[in-house]
Structure 1
Amino acid sequence: MKRITFLKSVLFTVVSPSIIITACSKKKKDAEGNVSVKTYTCPMHPQIVQNKPGTCPICGMDLVPFDKNNKDKGLTLSKDQQVLANITTIIIGAEGFEDNSYLNGKLVVNPEQTTFISSRVAGRIEELYIKETGIPVGKGQALYKIYSEDLLTLQEEYLLAVAQATQFSKDRRFQDILKASKQKLILYGQSETQIKHLADTKKTDPYIMYYAPQSGKVSEISVTEGQYVSEGSTLLQLENYNNLWVEADVYPSEIGEIKEGQKLKVIVAGWENDPQDMTLQFITPNLASSEQILQIRGSIANPDNRWQPGMQANIILAKKSSSEYLSIPINAVINDGDSRHVWVALDEERFEPRKVTTGLESFDKVEIRSGLKSGVKLVVTGAYLLYSEYVLKKGKHPLQEA
């Protein structure tokens, strides 16, 4: 009897630990029978997975725990979380992709707004009122005073014609002589006011003042005080910068995409956020003698003279894709080297990754060839934050199958 009791005691002692261990093990299993073991991954490299804390062997970041049994492909973010993550969305339209190329150009003076001040008569520059370049000149402003014996002779002829026309008022010949004499003074640059003053005072003056016919800035001075000039000599040059030409070089292979009258965009260096509209006005008919290029030209308004000739400018040449693929902002696409995906909004708080195939790319747009349709609500900013949040919560790439 004692022997049987002893054997029962030994058997109970051996079996009890196994029962206890089994019971404890069952407590670590979930409802589906899977053992709940903590799993860790790298936020930047989700391919690194292990069952204990540590650091990423690739980047050295601390591994974070995640639930590898979470099968949900999407993410849920509240309104407040979306504001903190700066998540914005757009509805994809049916517009095609446009690629832009940039033509290097520069701003130059529009010669149509350049005024050359030439001497109407031969004589000596007695006084020069504008003595340096860059000075703005208004219309009607005095430019120079000239001593001219030729003009003095014409004044005397005019006064004689006035006297004869007054004395013989009924003789048409003297009236015609007066008109011809007055016309000579006008052709020599005398204004109606100056001619009337001459007729009223009946005093000739060999020192004649000349005034600016147009407003502008003095770009060149070709004469000095005391210098003798001949009739037709260029004295000053005025330029108006309210309108500037934009010139750019084009290779012959690109000229087929450009035509006169085409609307283009121009970006002046320093004003990248303020593109200007330009109509292409001229394309050179032949190649430059020293280079295999053509030149195109248009003009842009220059309010308040904020731009100066010689500044760099780029002409944007848009190239529309022949296909009808969608285009989306390039920041919306997550490119991890092996695949590309975007995030779409399923509702106000639910977001889901979508694999896409891309095509042509520009500095701000990318062509989508598959994976998206028109009308989808797409995440534009905050896509990378959604990607990181997904990796932290799921411990895997958004496109990785369960």
Structure 2
Amino acid sequence: MRKNFIVSSAVCLVMLLSLMVVVSVSCKQRAAKHVHASHTKDTNYLSGVLYTDDVSRQILSDVPAIKPDSGTRILTAKVQGKVSFDSRSDAGIASRIAGRIERMYIRYNYQPVQKGQLILELYSPDLVAAQRELLLVHESGDNAMLLSQAKQRLLLLGMLPAQVEKVLKSGQPYYRLPVYSQASGYIVEKSVTSPAPGGGMNSAATQASAMGGMGGGAATATPVKNTSAQAPPLLLKEGQYINAGQTLFTVYSNSGLLANFAFPPVIAPYIAEGQRLVFHSTAGEGKTFTGKLALVQPVLEQGESFTQVRIYLPAGEWRPGQLLTGYLPVVANKGWWLPEASVWRTGNKNIVFRKQGDVFVPQPVSVGIALNGMVQVLDGIGDWEVAVQASYLVDSESLIQ
């Protein structure tokens, strides 16, 4: 009897202890939930911004709000440019006959040459045969018409009148035909990419995005030097055969240069031929020039579109390859204007935070140009109040979809 009483008491004691353990664990869990809820509430409210869990993505905040401005704005677009050769005055050097290059007097591309300077010497079996035919007709002396036709043939093959007369006096043919430069300037092999208009302008336009204005650009100029170390090597070599009519070189005249500037497409509607553009050397030489836009041309280069404008420059002031910085006045007559900080870009979307009561709601808008710290909004937002600093209201990528 006594033994059964002891067993029953032990069982009751074990059950009582188990009940106390369960109650203790439950209390701790409730306390942890309370602490976590308080911590979550504190983290949701930070720097005067309270992010609600509503699917509308509304935001409670004490961030200041402003109303957009309207009216005509005169802004300044900053653009980068480069001095290039004027391709209107270039001259080509081509071979009139097929043959082999016996002697080359050009050592590197962009080598300065003068008009009448010897470029190369060419051996051609056809030319030698034509000279021997001339000598044969000349020695016979009984047909003036054949003699005249033989001379004309040599002239068409590239020989000079003085050379033809020398062949007749000496009785010996030329085995090496000299080829001379047709103009003064910088000689460039035909296989080399032309340094004239448009080359490499897409990078400048890429750097100048619609939202970021027309900034960027290097700080030093890169003029063309007369040194073989910086010029691409020649592909034409002595002993190489060439074809009749093949263009060997192009001579870019240094008598006239041009300046190319690249604008992003969003600025294109505000550009027209005849406008004045103020520019100076990016190296900061201090002197400012004014030029008239002589060409406005849309360009697609390496998969990127931009608008290229051109200004013709006088000789003597500039060097090919020199970098420029230009300023173009832009007159915008429509739209609403907000500070750049009020517009948040998310890839191809532009978001503003519209104030509705005590909350801010993200709204997509269409924008135009962005210059001098202001953004043109094309939508009707005249009666809106917009957060001054959109970045303060951006919590995460899930906030804006």
In which range does the TM-score fall when normalised by the shorter chain? Answer: 0.3 to 0.5
Q: Which has the larger radius of gyration?
A: 1
User: TM-score w.r.t. structure 2 length?
Assistant: 0.48
